[in-house]
Amino acid sequence: MANYQRCFLNCNFNEFQKGTGWLEKPTTKAQMEIEHYLYLLNPINKKILVVGVGNGRFGLTYGLDESNTIDGITICEEEKENAIELYYDKVYLINKYNPDTFNIDKYDIIVDVNLKSYACCDKHFKEYIYNILHSLKLQGHLYSHKDGFTYDTTGVGFYEQKDDDYIKELGFNINYMDNILDIERIK
């Protein structure tokens, strides 16, 4: 069993991001690589979830078949409004690390570039990983990216080998294709 810190922090999930900070930034290089990878896979009729909708332009550069539906998660009200205005179906305004409000549909494909970057503590990161991976349908895939593993905003946000070990212990398959992490639900 991977060794994680217990939650000694009084994690506060009431604060939501205000303003348009992420909204106005270009899509990260990491997400662009995943979007290109998905374009090559050419999913049809899939339910896709983008965790961290940012500027809301997921899939627009390379294009995705219109049969797919795109939902999102964000911590920022303005991002939610923008994404829905663009073409997102449903956008959850939640803090993804808050297990009490984590209640989403099941997805064929989930994209989360920053799995751990904004984690308040190890305990809530682990709970998030459990919840998000169990939001995959059987044989669904979650895609993340190594660039996101080196971006830490909270002091616990660097993704490590023990995180891969934990995901494997949960019974998911992990593959790396260059910088892209592909986690598959196999049971």
Ligand X SMILES: C[S@@+](CC[C@H](N)C(=O)[O-])C[C@H]1O[C@@H](n2cnc3c(N)ncnc32)[C@H](O)[C@@H]1O
How far apart are alpha carbons 95 and 61 in whole angstroms? Answer: 27
Nearer to ligand X, 165 or 182 (CB): 182
Q: Of 3 and 100, which has the nearer Cβ to ligand X?
A: 100
Instruction: Kindly state the smallest distance separating residue 187's Cβ from ligand X, in Å.
Output: 27
Residue number with CB closer to ligand X (27 or 179): 27
> What are the CA-CA distances from residue 170 to residues 23, 27, 83, 88, 131 (Å)?
34, 31, 32, 30, 11
DSSP H stretches of helix in the chain:
29-41, 77-86, 122-133, 161-169
Query: If we measure between CA atoms, which residue out of 143, 133, 166, 149 comes closest to residue 5?
Result: 166
Cβ of residue 173: shortest distance to ligand X, in angstroms? 23
Measure the CA–CA gap between 111 and 75, rounded to whole angstroms.
Answer: 16
Minimum CB distance to ligand X, residue 9 (Å): 14
Task: Give the footprint of ligand X on this chain (CB under 6 A).
Answer: 17, 22, 27-28, 30-31, 52-54, 73-76, 79, 95-97, 113-114, 118
What is the number of other CB atoms lying within 10 angstroms of the CB of residue 26? Answer: 10
Give 75 or 156: the residue with its C-beta nearer to ligand X.
75
Q: How far is the CB of 70 from ligand X (least distance, A)?
A: 13
Of 52 and 140, CB closest to ligand X: 52
Least distance (Å) between residue 152 CB and ligand X: 12
Between CA 63 and CA 66 the distance in angstroms is 9
> Is 5 in contact with 156 (CB distance < 8 Å)?
yes
